[in-house]
Chain A
Amino acid sequence: MTLNLPTLWHDALEKVKTWARVNSPWLIHYNSGSCNGCDIEILATLTPRYDAERFGVKLQGSPRHADVLICTGPVTLQSKERLRRIYEQMPEPKFVVAVGSCAISGGVFDGCYNVVGHIDELLPVDMYIPGCPPRPEAILDGLVKLLRSLQDGQIERLETRPLAT
Chain B
Amino acid sequence: MHTNEHTAQIEKFIIPIGPQHPALKEPGHFEFTVDGEIVTHASVRLGYAHRGIEKGVESRNWTQNLYLLERVCGICSHVHATAYCLGVEKLAGVEAPPRAQAIRELVAELERIHSHYLWLGVTAHEAGFDTLFMYTWRDRETVMDILEAISGNRVHYSANILGGVKFDLGEKEAQTIRQGLSFLEERTHHYLEVVSQDALFLQRTRGIGVMTLAQAETIGVIGPTARASGLARDVRLDDPYAAYDRFPVPIILDDRGDLSARVVVRLKELLASIETIRHILDDLPPGELTVRVPRKIKPGEAISRVEAPRGELFYFIKSNGSEMPERIHIRTPTLCNMASVLTLAVGHHLADMPMLLAGIDPCFSCNDRGIVVQYGGDDHDHWTWERLRQFGIDHYKQLESGVF
Contacts from A to B (Cβ < 8 Å): 28-44, 47-49, 59-63, 73-74, 76-79, 81-82, 86, 107-109, 111-115, 132-133, 135
Contacts and interface: CB of A to CB of B under 8 A. Distances in A.
Given A35-B365, A41-B154, A82 B56 contact: no
Given A31-B25, A77-B392, A113-B56, 10 more contacts: A34-B49, A37-B71, A40-B75, A47-B134, A47-B137, A73-B49, A77-B396, A82-B48, A113-B388, A114-B50
Interface residues of B, number: 49
Most central of B133, B154, B400 by chain A CB within 10 Å: B154
B295 interface: no
B298 interface: no
B56 A37 contact: no
Contacts, number: 139
Contacts of A59: 22
B118 to A, nearest CB: 6
Contacts of B169: none
A113 B118 contact: no
B51 interface: yes
**4 tightest A-B CB contacts, nearest first:** A37-B74, A61-B22, A47-B137, A36-B74
Nearest to B55: A113
B308 to A, nearest CB: 13
A42 B74 CA distance: 12
Given A36-B25, A86-B20, A31 B49 contact: yes
A79 B389 CA distance: 16
A43 B365 contact: no
B239 to A, nearest CB: 27
A82 B20 contact: yes
B30 to A, nearest CB: 14
Contact of B155 (A41, A47, A112, A115): A41
A61 B25 contact: no
Contacts of B13: none
B362 to A, nearest CB: 11
A105 to B, nearest CB: 14
B21 A76 contact: no
